[in-house]
Chain A
């Protein structure tokens, strides 16, 4: 993985995911982060593996997959920048529920999940704020999943 410039509170303040976060919190979060760049084909994580990080995608996209017997790694969704990749680091047992691959070059800020959990434990306001921001991401993806279940583009005769 290549690295570019450092992560600062000022840089994080420009990211939509962190919009409105107080500067001291941003500074604390920035201290747990590093910039990364990965090539196409890089696997961020594998289903069942330990979830110790999350990423704020800045360019490119990441596909989420699930191993299906007889079909291999089936892509279920893609996550385009700017968005957050990974929330299993936040919830016990801290194991990835899906895999994640970069089908194209990706740049991101990579956060140390354990360090961020410690920050949240030490500062309840930061913890609540961050949990709500991740909850919003999860809410958006849950809604998208439910709408996809409607199979809106199916031929009308198929929906009968």
Chain B
């Protein structure tokens, strides 16, 4: 970091990408892929849960992508060291190119950027993690961090909304989280035959979360409307708006607050976010054209 807090890559500038090799690729859903990345040389700084990187598909372009695992996956036997996982949904030319990379290929990373979830401020209380769709990607490090430091947190409730059961991310991990004492509730908009989970909007799960609203911190990520209604449901249960944090998504380009593409009112989301307390985000989320 520079004195201003801007991450400097080993190339000596925050704008120069660092080379990472794809060492693993897992297709989460029909359009979403998790890549395992290992540095070719010097790594970027270790991200905090909630931070993102700019992923560069050479010759195509650069996109902001959430970090979905920090460090190696002990269950996958991946290499030790500065390993990252990033989960990408193919929605445009660049993300399609990123999703299309295969083990052995090299891509560029800049970052990590933004402020994280602030795990240290959640210690000692209960934890609510509410994710919609691809929003589970930046929240997975929260769950993994809390499980790795289980005694520092009270009860943990993970609430997940997805379009269909086939759209669930990290489906293979959810039972493991349950087995380790996490309350995991999943709801879908469109059930399929044999689905025994919840059906409906994620807000219906909020009252089922086994946490004390008076001593809980909530982390939310998903479509903005989903976060807004979930935050309202949580504050309706008695949580303070300052204890509900959202991860906002805007058009991040530089990642360091220089270019202004991701401006949201007084916020530059890449630098001041993406994680923002609901108390600060709420007045901005209903302003048209903002």
Question: Which chain A residues have a beta carbon within 8 Å of chain B's beta carbons?
Answer: 16, 61, 63, 75-83, 103-104, 140, 143-145, 147-148, 150-157
Contact = CB atoms under 8 A, between A and B. Distances in A.
Interface string B189-227: 101000111111101110110000000000000110110
Nearest to B167: A153
B91 A77 contact: no
Nearest to A154: B163
Contacts of A148: 189, 200-201
A151 B195 CA distance: 19
Contact of B225 (A82, A147, A155): A147
28 contacts: A61-B198, A75-B191, A75-B195, A75-B199, A76-B199, A77-B204, A78-B187, A78-B197, A80-B185, A80-B204, A80-B205, A83-B207, A104-B196, A144-B201, A144-B204, A144-B229, A147-B225, A147-B226, A147-B229, A148-B200, A152-B223, A152-B226, A153-B132, A153-B162, A153-B163, A153-B189, A156-B91, A156-B92
B160 to A, nearest CB: 11
Interface of B: 31, 91-92, 132-133, 161-163, 167, 185, 187, 189, 191, 195-201, 203-205, 207-208, 222-223, 225-226, 229
Interface centre among B92, B204, B222, by most A CB within 10 Å? B204
Contact of B207 (A82, A103, A145): A82
Contacts of A82: 207-208
A16 B207 contact: yes
B161 A77 contact: no
Contacts of B91: 155-157
Given A153-B161, A153-B223, A78 B200 contact: yes
Contact of A80 (B163, B191, B208, B222): B208
Given A78-B197, A83-B204, 14 more contacts: A77-B199, A77-B204, A80-B198, A80-B205, A104-B196, A140-B203, A144-B200, A147-B203, A148-B200, A148-B201, A151-B163, A152-B132, A153-B189, A155-B91
Nearest to A74: B191
**Ranked 6 nearest A-B pairs via Cβ:** A144-B201, A153-B163, A152-B223, A153-B133, A77-B200, A80-B208
A105 to B, nearest CB: 12
A157 B191 CA distance: 21
A7 to B, nearest CB: 20
A148 B190 CA distance: 10
A153 B166 CA distance: 12
Given A152-B133, A154-B163, A78 B198 contact: yes
A33 to B, nearest CB: 20
Contacts of A63: 199
Contacts of A76: 199
B207 A155 contact: no
